[in-house]
Amino acid sequence: MAATQPLTAVQGNGLRLENISKYFSSTSTDTQLQVLDNVQLDIAPGEFITIVGASGCGKSTLLRLILGLDEAFDGQILLDEKPIKGTGLERGIVFQDHRLFPWLTVEQNVAVGLKNAPLSPAQKRETVREHIHLVGLQDFVESYPHQISGGMAQRVAIARGLVNRPSVLLLDEPFGALDALTRTRLQRELQHIWQQEKITMVHVTHDVDEAVYLGDRVVVMQPHPGRIRRIVDIDLPRPRNRSDARFIALRDDVLSDFAEVS
């Protein structure tokens, strides 16, 4: 599996988190709250990493650091051997709340991702069209976000996240707000997209089942302060079958971590 490959052997695009620590300081009490403690993680190119943990374990904070929205932290984040600086088009994001602009159509919302991409207008149109196709929304290009369902909006957000062809796509509990049926369908679709596009994915979730279903490796985090508890290899062929005995065993194994905590 990708997890066991040596990082340097593959052509670039690996993501390396080195000794990441992060504090939130409270100005009122003059104290510092540690939210991340010495997080170390090597992510191979094309790998699907899922990060799972209870709320408050810093998993979303970690994602914001990789995204470059928050630059005040200790340690280093290297993408393709180079430290990241601020946000960048090579790192895409899908937020939990889809964050589509309500005044733009589906097509225009996806095009937001390409606003500053070095492409000609014709190339941009074509790329937008391709990605709307990829998420199966070709019949809704002219629709506004309020005219489509939550699941469809999240697919638009995925298309917007992918439209730059980033080397890493970060997903921050993207299906957390969806109903169970839509969530299952989108998990399957996301896996399909990942296999097709071969983009590194870092997917944060609090749903153990989702983490095991999607990840090459599941990173289990624990809170106070947020740190990696352990990393579980999911050595199952895709598409995965939730009723497979090995799947159930792995899921129960990961779940047991949380049983102890709570």
Partner 1 sequence: MSTLTSSAAPSPRRYRGWVLPVVAVAVWWLATHQGWSDSGLLVSPQKVAATAWHQFTSEAFWRAISSSLARNLSGFFIGTTLGLVLGCLLGFSRLFERVVGPSFNTFKQISLFAWIPLISVWFGLGDVAKVVFLSLAALVPVVVNTCDGLRNVPPAFLEVAKVYGFTRWQTIRGVMLPAALPSIFTGVYLALVYSWLATIGAEYLLVSGSGIGNTLIDGSEHFMMDLVLFGMVVIGLVGWGLNLLARNLERRMQRLYGITPR
* Site of interaction with partner 1 (CB under 8 A): 67, 69, 87-89, 93, 95, 97, 99, 101-103, 112-113, 115-116, 144-147
Helix (DSSP H) and strand (DSSP E) numbers for the chain: 7, 10
Separation between Cα atoms, residue 168 and residue 43, nearest integer Å: 10
What stretches of the chain show up as alpha helix (H) in DSSP? Answer: 59-67, 106-112, 121-134, 150-162, 180-197, 208-214, 245-261
| Least distance CB 99 / partner 1 (angstroms) | 5
| Least distance CB 257 / partner 1 (angstroms) | 31
Nearer to partner 1, 58 or 145 (CB): 145
Nearer to partner 1, 52 or 171 (CB): 171
Nearer to partner 1, 11 or 116 (CB): 116
Burial 102-140 (b: 16+ CB within 10 A, else e): eeebbbebbbebbeeeeeeeeebeebbeebbebbebeeb
| Least distance CB 246 / partner 1 (angstroms) | 37
| Least distance CB 146 / partner 1 (angstroms) | 3
Nearer to partner 1, 118 or 237 (CB): 118
Nearer to partner 1, 99 or 240 (CB): 99
Nearer to partner 1, 87 or 256 (CB): 87
Q: How many CA atoms lie less than 13 Å away from 233 in the CB half-sphere?
A: 7
| Least distance CB 104 / partner 1 (angstroms) | 8
Q: Amino acid letter at 59?
A: K
Separation between Cα atoms, residue 229 and residue 191, nearest integer Å: 25
| Least distance CB 226 / partner 1 (angstroms) | 21
Nearer to partner 1, 6 or 146 (CB): 146
| Least distance CB 61 / partner 1 (angstroms) | 14
Separation between Cα atoms, residue 123 and residue 19, nearest integer Å: 40
Do residues 61 and 51 make contact, with C-beta atoms less than 8 angstroms apart? Answer: no
Separation between Cα atoms, residue 210 and residue 212, nearest integer Å: 6
